[in-house]
A = this chain, B = another copy of it.
Amino acid sequence: MASFALHPQLAAETIPMMDLPLCKVLLMNDRQYPWLILVPQVRDAREFTDLMPNEQQQLWAEILAVQTALRDVTRPHKLNVAALGNLVPQLHIHIIARFDYDPAWPRPVWGVLPAQPYSPMEAGEVITRLRPLLDRAARSL
């Protein structure tokens, strides 16, 4: 993990939240959706199958823990969990809380609307809401 570096596009579009044992947890800087991204800190990983078996198991545990935290904080209509990577090849997993009144519903969020960055105050509020349950998730891992 010493040589892992976050892809510049992910770094530019997100706000760092915390590091779990395997993944960085990032908040997508788009106030339209509560949207977290997990990035396994493994160099050159593009697919789940590029990870070692123990890393694959840890990733799944972290996906489940983070989606539980996001669900419990936001109480969404539906969670969307996806690893796409057509544009940013570095393996990353989207975990998005969807509501039937959000601006892309019921479509997937990608490419539908330009991101609307958080104001600093809004970002602080979202992070303050998410942080305790993410900390609890981290302790469960």
Contact = CB atoms under 8 A, between A and B. Distances in A.
A131 B69 CA distance: 38
A9 interface: no
Contacts of A67: 47-49
A82 B84 contact: yes
Interface string A90-132: 0000000010000001111011000000000000000000000
A14 interface: no
Interface residues of A, number: 30
Given A60-B56, A60-B60, A48 B86 contact: no
A86 B80 contact: yes
A81 B83 contact: yes
A108 B106 contact: no
Contact of A64 (B56, B64, B108): B56
B79 A47 contact: yes
A49 B78 contact: no
